Amino acid sequence: MSINNTDDNTSSGKGEDTLDLPTYDDVLEAARRLKGISHVTPVVTSRTLNTSLGISIFLKCEQLQRMGAFKFRGAYNALSRSTGGGVCTFSSGNHAQAIALSARLLNRSATIIMPNDAPKSKVSATKGYGGNIIFYDRYTQDREALARDYIAQQQQYHGIAFSFVPPYNHKDVIAGQGTAGKELMETVQTDHGIQALDYLFVCVGGGGLISGCSLAANALAPNCKVIGVEPEAGNDAQQSLEQGKIIKIDTPSTIADGAQTQAIGNLTFAIMKRRVDHIITVSDDELIHEMRYLGERLKMIIEPTGCLGLAGLRKMVSMDQIPSGANCGVILSGGNVDMDRYCDLVSSSS
């Protein structure tokens, strides 16, 4: 069983014709599979925010999704289509919770390889959903090797077949995440009378969310520009698109723990090359500013990674790269953050 996130044959663009990439039809199938299981999260607007930036902003509130982040969509979609007695994955927190909850709903066991510096709230929630956690050092250990060894041992010594569902580089995960973009596009049309978004801002870690959302955007708003946002310290996706090959970096040091990936996957890279228009980076200070703004003005508690999209939008507006009056969608990807940590961060920006 291969569980690699990247593939030497595709890192330079070779062999992409042989990849089984998801399409918008897969997003539609995922939406049908998730109906009645995942929440259709609200799309929120703010007159104050719109006025201050001179545009119309539509915030997709995935912090109100089951387990507090968009990750539930892809995890449940993938796990409901997989076989085996158990499921194994690696994650810094949100995918861990999503897999643990999905496994519980589907009467499966779940084991998650988590970094030992993962936020306490995410560790606690993962355990609360019934997940078995194996900790590792993200700076010195190989999480893929740990997962591979665990799956082999379970098969060899216990006769238990485990499926592997990675955080982002998986067809069904990408399709599931794309339902967030689909819902945003549809809600903007039906509830706000906007025919189509001009821009869609999405955080980028491994690329699963932006890949899925770009499929939805291409189908429902073909002229919408899809903008990815990464932390400055972890711009591997930006480098990859610029150089035309997957670039692997050291684990970045950033408060955006959900974007501390070293490389995007071969599936997400292939989709992003075709569907993502631009990637911008923002600093941790800019993320903290958005955490505080969203908390004070919109009464939303959003984790640092979840603020990437709005921070990127604000930055592009300040650089005069977004025309006045543009209709802009932003995915607020999640709200799973330790409250002590949250308070420390937003207090530091006062």
Contact in structure between 39 and 62 (CB atoms under 8 Å): no
Asked about 333 being catalytic, the answer comes back as: no
Asked about 12 being catalytic, the answer comes back as: no
Alpha helices in the chain (DSSP H): 24-34, 47-53, 71-80, 94-105, 120-128, 143-158, 171-192, 208-220, 236-243, 266-275, 284-297, 308-318, 339-348
> How far is the C-alpha of 152 from the C-alpha of 111, rounded, in Å?
13
Q: 24-34 vs 208-220: helix axis angle to the nearest 10?
A: 110
The CA-based diameter of the chain, rounded to the nearest angstrom, is 63
Reference 325, options 154, 180, 198; nearest CA is 198
Choosing from 71, 102, 182, 211, the catalytic residue is 71
> How far is the C-alpha of 7 from the C-alpha of 10, rounded, in Å?
5
Q: Please name the residues in contact with 64: beta carbons below 8 A apart, sequence gap of 6 or more.
A: 39, 41, 42, 335
Choosing from 91, 92, 240, 333, the catalytic residue is 92
Give catalytic residues, as residue numbers.
71, 92
